[in-house]
Structure 1
Amino acid sequence: MIEPDFAFPYLQKQQFDIILAADRGLEFCYHYQIMPTYILGDFDSLSPEILNYYKENHVAPIREFNPMKDNTDTDIAFQQAIVLGSSEITILGATGGRLDHFLSIVQNLKTAWEKKIPAYIVDSRNLITIPVETSFEIRKEEQFGKYVSFFPLEKEVTSITLEGFAYPLDHHCLPNTSGGLCVSNEIVEETAHVSYEGGILLMVQSRD
C-alpha cells in the first residue's frame, strides 16, 4: 500500500533511473504525474480507465499478465528490475496491507542478496534490507530512523558483532529463536559497525 505523502517526495529526492509501476502502483503514478519506465502486472486492482489511458497514450511498455499466475505482481516487477541490470532496487508500497504479500517481498530481498544487489523495502517508518556485505557501518546522521533491529532469516547468524550501539554484541550467535534480542537497538556513536560471519541477516531501520 503506497503512502502518497511519503512516496511522492521520496521519489523526487531519490531520482531513480528506472520506475516500474506494478498493478495499482500505476494509479499512484497517474495521480502524481510520475512517468513510469515500465508498466506491468495483472491489473486486477487497478481502474480500467487508468490502464486504458496508458495504453492509448503509449506512455511506456506494458506487460499484462493473467491474474491466474504463479507469481505476484511485485515478483514480476522485481525480476524485471534484475533483468534490466539494476545496481540497486527500492520497493515502495510493500507494507501496510496483506502480510502474505509482505513476506513474499522479503523473499525478493533474499533473491537480490544472492545476486549481490542491494534491495530495500521502504515506507514512512521503515527501511528493510538484507545487507550484501558481512561487514558494514551505519552513520548516525544518515540512518533512516531511531531504531535498528536485526533478524536471522535462516537457522542463525553467526559471530555477529555490534559496535557503537546501546546494546552491543561481540561475536554472538544469533539464532532464529532469539525473539527480541536484537530488536529496537539504538546507535550511540557517530558511526556504528556491524559484522557477522555466516547466515542471512535482515536489518530494519525504523522510527515511531
Structure 2
Amino acid sequence: MGTEKKIAAIISGGNINYDFALSFLEKHPVTCLIGADRGIEFLKRAEMVPDYIVGDFDSAESETLSHFRKKGVEIRAFKPEKDDTDTQIAVNLAMEKGNTCIYILGGTGSRLDHVLGNIQILGQTAEAGIECYLIDEHNRIRVINNKISIKKAEQYGKFVSIVAHTTEVKGLDLVGFYYPLSNYTMSCNQALGLSNEIIAEEAFISVTEGALIVIESRD
C-alpha cells in the first residue's frame, strides 16, 4: 500500500472569499490545517478546528484566540518584531511536519507587498521540492524549477501566465499552448509570458535552469 500524501492548508490573513474558501476545502481534503493570525477568524466562522495556530496575533481578535485555546489547539505565538511573516511561519511549520503539498488561502489581496512576499515563499518551497500554491477565487499561483503538466479539463481558469522568478529562466519549453516556446531564455524584466492559453488536452511547462512563476487565472 502507498503512503498517504500529506497535504496542508494554511489560512492566512489576506482577503478570503468565504464561500470560495469553504468550497475549496471541502473539495480538497487536507491532513493538516494551520491558521495564521487573522486567518483564524475564517476558521471560527466556518466552525473548523485547526491543528495549529501561528502568528503574532496583531490582527486577530483575542476572543477568537481564546475560543481555539479552549478547544486545545496548539498555539505558537511570536513577537511582532520577528523576521518571518505569519504566512512564512505557517509554511515552515507545514514543511516541518512533513507535508509535501501546501495550499495557502488568504495569501492574496490588496496588500501587494504581502502578495509579493508570499510569491517569494513559493520560491523557497520549490527549492525544497514541495508543491505550494497561493489560491483565491481567481488565481492559482505556484513556482516551478522543473517540469509540470496541466490538463485542459483540470486547469484553474482560461489563462496561464508565466513570469521569471529568478533573474533568468533557461531552457523554457511550452508545449500544448497557443503561444509555444522552445529552449527559450526568459529574463525577470519581460512580460512575454502573460495570458497564454492551453490548446491541447494536456500542456507542459519545463525549465532547465532557474525558477518560473506559473499563474492560472480566470476573470
Smaller-chain TM-score bracket:
over 0.9
Deviation at 1:56, TM superposition (A): 2.6
Ranges in structure 1 where 5+ consecutive residues have no aligned partner: none
Alignment of 1:20 with 2:20, yes or no, is no
Deviation at 1:68, TM superposition (A): 2.1
Alpha-carbon distance in structure 1 between the residues aligned to 2:119 and 2:20: 21
> Residue 172 of structure 2 aligns with which residue?
160
Alignment of 1:86 with 2:99, yes or no, is yes
Alpha-carbon distance in structure 2 between the residues aligned to 1:197 and 1:69: 35
Contact 2:22 2:46 (8 Å CA) reproduced: yes
1:66 to 66, 79, 83: 79
Q: Secondary structure at the match of 1:103?
A: helix
Alpha-carbon distance in structure 1 between the residues aligned to 2:128 and 2:114: 22
> Residue 5 of structure 2 aligns with which residue?
none
Alignment of 1:184 with 2:195, yes or no, is yes
> Residue 113 of structure 2 aligns with which residue?
100
Alpha-carbon distance in structure 2 between the residues aligned to 1:127 and 1:15: 17
> Residue 155 of structure 2 aligns with which residue?
143
Alpha-carbon distance in structure 2 between the residues aligned to 1:63 and 1:136: 35
Deviation at 1:195, TM superposition (A): 1.9
> Residue 22 of structure 2 aligns with which residue?
8
Alpha-carbon distance in structure 2 between the residues aligned to 1:189 and 1:119: 25
Q: Secondary structure at the match of 1:7?
A: helix
Q: Secondary structure at the match of 1:129?
A: strand
Q: Deviations over 1:39-59 (max 9, x none)?
A: 11111111111111122332x
Runs of 4+ in 1 over 6 A off after TM superposition: none
Q: Deviations over 1:52-90 (max 9, x none)?
A: 1122332x1111112222221111111111110111111
> Residue 142 of structure 2 aligns with which residue?
129
Alpha-carbon distance in structure 2 between the residues aligned to 1:40 and 1:199: 31
Contact 2:36 2:90 (8 Å CA) reproduced: yes
RMSD in angstroms over aligned alpha carbons?
A: 1.1
Deviation at 1:135, TM superposition (A): 2.4
1:36 to 32, 50, 64: 50
Ranges in structure 2 where 5+ consecutive residues have no aligned partner: 1-14
Alpha-carbon distance in structure 2 between the residues aligned to 1:175 and 1:68: 35
Q: Which amino acid is 1:196 matched to?
A: V
Percent identity between matched residues is 40
Q: Deviations over 1:150-194 (max 9, x none)?
A: 111112111211111111112111111222x11000001111122
Which stretch shows the higher mean deviation, 84-93 or 155-164? 155-164
Q: Deviations over 1:108-136 (max 9, x none)?
A: 1111111101110000000000125x223
Deviation at 1:145, TM superposition (A): 0.7
Alpha-carbon distance in structure 1 between the residues aligned to 2:110 and 2:69: 28
> Residue 198 of structure 1 aligns with which residue?
209
Q: TM-score, normalised by structure 1?
A: 0.95
Contact 2:49 2:68 (8 Å CA) reproduced: no
> Residue 50 of structure 1 aligns with which residue?
64
Q: Secondary structure at the match of 1:186?
A: coil
